[in-house]
Each structure stands twice: as structure tokens, then as C-alpha cells.
Amino acid sequence: MSRSLRADNVSPAVRPDLDAAPPSAALTGLHSFANLTVAAAFVLLIAGGLVTSTGSGLSVPDWPLSFGKLMPPMIGGVFFEHGHRLIAGTVAVLAWSLAFFALAVKADRVTRVLSGLAAGLILIQALLGGMTVLMRLPPAVSISHACLAQIVFCLLVAAAQSCSPWYRFGAETGSGELWRAGALAVGALFLQLALGALLRHTGTGLMLHIGWAAVAALAVWSAAVRGAATARRVPSLWGPAALMSGLVLLQIALGFYSYKARFGTAWSAGGLDKVAALTTAHLAVGALLLGSAVVFLARCLRTR
């Protein structure tokens, strides 16, 4: 089906600036670059989790340099802390490049806004990261840093989805009000991740984190089951619905074993102990789950 025929199937109320769509080659390039930026941001989340899990947050006492250098010896906790900074700098460059790329190819307003917000917030994220070091890991700043990282990740995921060829020119309709279940899942998961950050940085709120996990799991499963049931007429919902269902089970298992590891005998593997490995994996899967819910919500909004 030609681009013009497919575009005719898109409601102007949903995509008001469709006539300003960039050429297909530019759109494909933008989408690929957005996916690359999302992947880099996910690696950054893992790197940040490793800094906290290994207790490496103050291994480098200064900022923005590390011991007054651009590249200190990468040993011990410095490997995790300075490595995190290097990855963060790379993601910042990618995020700003994505925002300028979207402007250059005249991407639609949604993509421009989402990528621009991500680029702006990543600068605030960098400042919060510096404050955590210079202020010696104050819990409020550290928790804000962790939560903002997830927000930036979600914005990048949404930007990548909004500039995908399917999202721009797909003709699927029929998800109705399912977007409400998707929004509830996204909100419940984000709150759960915030409670996880509270637990990681203060050691408090364990029972609240465990209790809300049940609420978040129910919200995710509700959206996933309804999405799977709707997938017959909206096939694009099947992928994120199935992914959400699987990831929530894995996340529960990782949460359980992370809890058990804190009371067992830790093993060491290349400087990374059992608790650090499990808690970082728990954080990473949580981010993937949240990202999947954002994709699910975006597709519901596109096909309602």
C-alpha cells in the first residue's frame, strides 16, 4: 500500500499535522536513531543501578571531573561511578541529537515535543547526579535522580514510538477506552519504581513497596489481558501485552530473590555480589516493564 493511501486512513483529529510528515527515508532514519537512544538510556539505567547496588556512589568525590581528571584509573568503585558518568554523557549527546534530528526532518509535533522534553530533562538529570555527589548522597536528591531517570526513559520510548512508520501511517482502529487501563498501568508502575528508589536509597518502605507491587501487578495484568483480547482487531497491541505479562512475572521473581539475598550469604563474581546483581536486574526489568506499558499506552491512544 502506498504512503498516500495509507495516510488517507489516518484521522486528521489524531494526526493533525500529517501533511507535514517527513519523507519516508528520513522518518525511518529518525525512528532508528530514536531506538538507539532508547537502548543507550536503558544501559544508563543499568549503570546507575550498579552504582547504587555496589555502594560506589562516593567512589569519586568530585564532579563534573573525576579526581580532577577526565579519565581516572577505572578500578574498584571508580569503574562503576565514572563508567556511569561516561554513559550518561553519551546518552545526553544522543538525546539532544534526537531532538535536533526531529526538528531537522520536520517530524510531527508529538515527536518534537517528546524528544525536546527528554533533552531538556536530561540536563536536569545531570545536575541532580552532580548534586548527589557534592552533597554526599542526600536521599531526597538521590531519589529524585532515580525517578527522573525513569521519566526521561519513558519520554524517549514514547518519542521512538511516535515516529515509527506504523504509528504515523498505520490504519488500525478499535482499542476504544483501553488507553485508560494502559495509563493506570503506567502510573502504578512508575509509583512502584519510585517506592523502589526510596527503599534503595533510605532502606525504608519495604512493606509499602511489597504491598504496592501487588497493585501494580494487577494493573499490568488487567491491561495486558484486555489488550490481548482486543488484539484480534488491533494486532499491534499483542506484542506489548504479551511482553507486559511475561515481564511482570519475572519482576516478581526478581523482587522475591532480591529480598532473600539480603538475608543470605552473598557470593562474589568479579566484584559484583549477589545482592547487587539481583537488585540491579530487578531495576532493569522494572524499567523494561514500564517501557512496555508506555508502548502499550501509546498504541492504545493511536488506535482508539
Hey, is 69 helix, strand or coil?
A: strand
φ/ψ of 2, rounded to 5, equals: -70, 160
pLDDT of residue 190: 97
User: At residue 265, does pLDDT exceed 80?
Assistant: no
Domain-embedded: residue 244: yes
**pLDDT at residue 279 is higher than 60:** yes
Q: pLDDT per residue over 99-152, tens digit each?
A: 999 999 989 999 999 999 999 999 999 999 999 999 999 999 999 999 999 999
State the average pLDDT for the chain.
88
Query: What band does 23 get if pLDDT is binned at 50, 70 and 90?
Result: low
| Cross-strand pairs, 268 | 273
Same domain? For 71 and 217 the reply is no
Check: CB of residue 70 under 8 Å from CB of residue 304: no
Average pLDDT of span 154-179: 89
The secondary structure of the chain in percent helix, strand, coil, rounded to multiples of 5, reads 75, 0, 25
203 within domain boundaries: yes
195 with 121, same domain?
no
All three cell numbers of 71, joined, read 579519565
Domain that holds residue 87: 16-170
In this structure, the answer to whether residues 107 and 136 fall within a common structural domain is: yes
Predicted confidence at residue 258, as pLDDT, reads: 86
The tens digit of pLDDT for each residue in 182-212 reads 999 999 999 999 999 999 999 899 999 999 9
How wide is the angle at C-alpha 213 spanned by C-alphas 211 and 215, nearest 5°? 85
What local confidence, expressed as pLDDT, does residue 264 receive? Answer: 56
Considering the domain architecture, whether residues 184 and 255 belong to the same structural domain is answered as yes
205 and 276 share a domain? yes
Out of 150, 170, 190, pick the residue that ends a domain: 170
Residues 164 and 176 in one domain: no
Does the pLDDT value for residue 261 go beyond 80? no
pLDDT band at residue 263, thresholds of 50, 70 and 90? Answer: low
Question: Of 170, 200, 222, which marks where a domain is finished?
Answer: 170
Number of domains in the chain: 2
Q: Give a yes or no: residue 259 inside a domain.
A: yes
What is the C-alpha to C-alpha distance for residues 248 and 224, in angstroms, rounded to an integer? Answer: 10
* Cβ–Cβ < 8 Å for 137, 58: yes
109 and 198 in a single domain? The answer is no
CA atoms of 61 and 240, how far apart (whole Å): 42
* pLDDT at res. 26: 83
Report the C-alpha gap between 191 and 195 in whole angstroms: 6
262 with 300, same domain: the answer is yes
Tell me: do 27 and 90 sit in the same domain.
yes
Whether residue 3 is contained in a domain is answered as no
Structural domain includes residue 304: yes
Asked if residue 167 lies in contact with residue 267, where contact means CB atoms within 8 angstroms, the answer is no
Among 135, 170, 205, residue at a domain's last position: 170
Contact between residue 195 and residue 230 where contact means Cβ atoms under 8 Å apart = no
Q: At CB < 8 A and 24+ separation, what contacts does 9-12 make?
A: 9/171, 10/168, 10/169, 10/170, 10/171
What three-state secondary structure class fits 1? coil
Do residue 291 and residue 233 come from a single domain? yes
Q: Report pLDDT for 57.
A: 87
Got the DSSP string for 78-115? HHHHHHHHHHHHHHHHHHHHHHHHHHHTT--HHHHHHH
Predicted confidence (pLDDT) at residue 270 exceeds the cutoff of 60: no
Mean pLDDT confidence for 275-288:
93
Tell me the DSSP string of 10-27.
S-TTTSTTGGGPPPHHHH
- Comparison of pLDDT for 265 and 298, the residue scoring more: 298
Is residue 149 in a domain? yes
Shared domain for 34 and 134, answered yes or no, is: yes
For the whole model, what pTM was predicted?
0.88
Domain assignment present for 9? no
- Residue 208 lies inside a defined structural domain of this protein: yes
Q: What pLDDT is attached to residue 239? A: 95
By CB neighbour count within 10 A (0-12 exposed, 13-18 middle, 19+ buried), where does 5 fall? exposed
Q: In terms of domains, do 44 and 179 share one?
A: no
